[in-house]
Amino acid sequence: MRKLIIAIDGPAASGKSTTAKLVAQRLGYLHIDTGAMYRAVTLRVLEEKIPLDDVQKIGELAEGTQIRLERSGSGSRIYVDGRDVTTDIRSPSVTNCVSLVSSYRLVRDVLVREQRRMAERRGVVLEGRDIGTVVLPNADLKIYMVAHVTERVKRRKRDLELAGSVVDSEALEQQILERDRFDSTRDASPLRKAPDAIELDTTDLTIEQQVQFVVSRAQKILKRLS
Ligand code: DC
């Protein structure tokens, strides 16, 4: 049976990760969290104490870093140069710097090349900001997820609190809006809805409804292709 390439893009905390992970599980596909890959490079930049404006050095670091995503239980784990960094890439310092690091063309060139390679075998759900527009413009199904900022703050706050962090909603809202602004106004592959993407507003949807929406679209395409 033919396998699909599914692209899920959208702003921060719009529900991409949870949806992409569950859609991949239901279809037996591989979930590729491309934001996690930009976070992994950012973590290495911070660990190596490379100045955040040293574009050349950061590009070289990205080129020399091996990133691996592995399925594990109900989720996936991410390794840089063989080290499990699944938890470390979610730290506030990485979150604060990842928009800047991911705006560098040299970094994007390396990671986009890798993302295309991972998608070659098909049967993949990639989530990010530029999957449907730049990484895989020929994806079989493109979803652009959005949600009202108040709902996004609520979701992100719940995730952070579950991970043991204390967060202020107002500061979190500012951070999310600032990251959206930066991600959508940068020169290199800004966050944008592909013209042929289906917009899905998840503000009032349950996770199950979000997942079902994407899975049923995928099944329709698979039926047409069979
Ligand atoms: O989805 P996330 O919050 O983990 O993404 C972290 C950052 O990575 C986000 O602020 C923008 C960047 N990113 C990107 O530029 N392109 C992608 N395909 C995925 C993420």
CA of 35 to the centre of ligand 1 (A): 4
CA of 12 to the centre of ligand 1 (A): 8
**Segment 82-118, tens digit of pLDDT:** 999 999 999 999 999 999 999 999 999 999 999 999 9
HSE-up (13 A, CA, CB side) for residue 9: 28
pLDDT band for 51, please (50, 70, 90 cuts): very high
CA of 206 to the centre of ligand 1 (A): 23
If one counts every other C-beta atom within 10 angstroms of the C-beta of residue 21, the result is: 17
Q: Closest Cα partner for 217 from 21, 12, 23, 22?
A: 23
What pLDDT is attached to residue 75? 79
Which residue's C-alpha comes closest to atom 18 of ligand 1? 128
Identify the DSSP state of 195.
Answer: T
Are the CB atoms for 23 and 29 separated by under 8 Å? yes
pTM of the entire predicted model: 0.95
If one counts every other C-beta atom within 10 angstroms of the C-beta of residue 36, the result is: 21
What pLDDT is attached to residue 164? 87
Give the mutation target among 14, 21, 34, 160 for probing the ligand 1 site: most ligand atoms within 8 A of CB: 34
Which residue's C-alpha comes closest to atom 5 of ligand 1? 35
Which residue's C-alpha comes closest to atom 11 of ligand 1? 99
**Cα 141 to chain center, whole Å?**
16
CA of 54 to the centre of ligand 1 (A): 20
**Ligand 1: which residues within 6 Å by Cβ?**
12, 34-35, 38-39, 98-99, 102, 128-131, 179, 183
**Segment 185-198, tens digit of pLDDT:** 999 999 999 999 99
Q: Which CATH architecture does the domain made up of 5-214 adopt?
A: 3-Layer(aba) Sandwich (3.40)
Domain ranges of the chain: 5-214
| Atom number, ligand 1, closest to the C-alpha of residue 115 | 18
Which residue's C-alpha comes closest to atom 14 of ligand 1? 129
Query: What whole-number distance in Å separates Cα of residue 173 and Cα of residue 167?
Result: 10
pLDDT band for 201, please (50, 70, 90 cuts): very high
